[in-house]
């Protein structure tokens, strides 16, 4: 970048000396003009200048099924009244390519659990959702209450995002710290798939409380016999959306 500027201004701009770099007279003369130009650019892209009520834009948002249900469904419904000129294109979030898509501008915003997201995509936490155990009504393994032994004996389904251990998740890490393990029989790709699975079988699952409450009374929510994980849902994206959506 410095070489390009040197060609543009036909001046070295900075010269090296024993203590580092010093600006040339030409660079010092350019400083006030550059400061003014940068201020004008910042005013164009500043988030405070973004008015969603007047905006005519299309944004592409990558989201998990959890992020879609908890954030984007109510957001899109609200936009119909508050931002009639704004359109939202929702894409399935692909964890293996998300960082590249974000950096390339193919995705404007990402909404997902951020506890294990790459550092550049951690952004801000929207809310945290504690996990509960979900099961069908009348599950025989839950008739007499639930202790740690009973929890581990149950047959579990989990949400797996791929990787080398598709049948192991955060709950299994917590159990392992206590010297325990559970019986995992099925792995699905999203939390919204769990209610139908457990309501029609004797499988149980650990899932975010706020999301699972939407499926009552077809499933029953139970407190686990230990301090379960909490799912932080967060987002990161275009500076205009970063201010507007997250506030």
Instruction: Convert the pLDDT of each residue in 142-186 to its tens digit.
Output: 988 899 999 999 999 999 876 678 899 999 999 999 999 999 999
What predicted TM-score, i.e. pTM, was given to this entire model? 0.71
Does the structure show a pLDDT above 90 at 241?
no
Instruction: Convert the pLDDT of each residue in 44-68 to its tens digit.
Output: 444 555 676 777 788 898 888 888 8
238: exposed, middle or buried (Cβ count in 10 Å: 0-12, 13-18, 19+): buried
Query: d(Cα 60, Cα 190) in Å, to the nearest integer?
Result: 20
Query: d(Cα 96, Cα 161) in Å, to the nearest integer?
Result: 10
Does the structure show a pLDDT above 70 at 88?
yes
Does the structure show a pLDDT above 80 at 100?
yes
Q: Three-state SS for 66?
A: helix
CA angle 237, 239, 245 (to 5 degrees): 70
H or E element in which residue 27 lies: helix 25-45
Contact assessment for residue 233 and residue 126, using Cβ atoms and an 8 Å cutoff: yes
Q: CA–CA distance from 135 to each of 146, 155, 189, 217 (Å)?
A: 12, 10, 18, 11
């Amino acid at each position: 970048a410095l070489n390009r500027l040197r060609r543009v201004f036909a001046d070295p701009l900075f010269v090296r000396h024993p203590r580092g770099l010093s600006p040339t007279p030409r660079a010092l003369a350019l400083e006030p003009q550059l400061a003014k130009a940068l201020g004008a650019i910042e005013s164009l892209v500043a988030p405070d200048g973004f008015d969603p009520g007047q905006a005519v834009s299309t944004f592409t948002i990558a989201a998990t099924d959890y992020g879609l249900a908890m954030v984007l469904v109510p957001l899109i419904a609200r936009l119909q009244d508050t931002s009639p000129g704004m359109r939202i294109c929702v894409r399935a979030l692909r964890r293996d390519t998300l960082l590249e898509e974000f950096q390339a501008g193919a995705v404007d915003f990402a909404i997902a659990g951020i506890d294990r997201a790459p550092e550049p995509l951690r952004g801000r936490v929207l809310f945290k959702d504690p996990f509960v155990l979900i099961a069908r009504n009348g599950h025989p393994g839950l008739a007499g209450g639930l202790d740690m032994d009973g929890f581990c004996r149950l047959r579990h389904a989990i949400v797996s995002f791929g990787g080398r251990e598709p049948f192991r998740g955060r709950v299994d890490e917590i159990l392992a710290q206590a010297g325990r393990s559970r019986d995992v029989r099925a792995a699905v790709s999203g939390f919204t798939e769990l209610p139908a699975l457990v309501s029609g079988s004797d499988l149980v699952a650990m899932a975010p409380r706020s999301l699972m409450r939407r499926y009552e009374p077809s499933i029953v929510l139970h407190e686990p016999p230990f301090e379960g994980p909490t799912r932080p849902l967060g987002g990161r994206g275009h500076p205009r959306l970063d201010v507007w959506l997250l506030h």
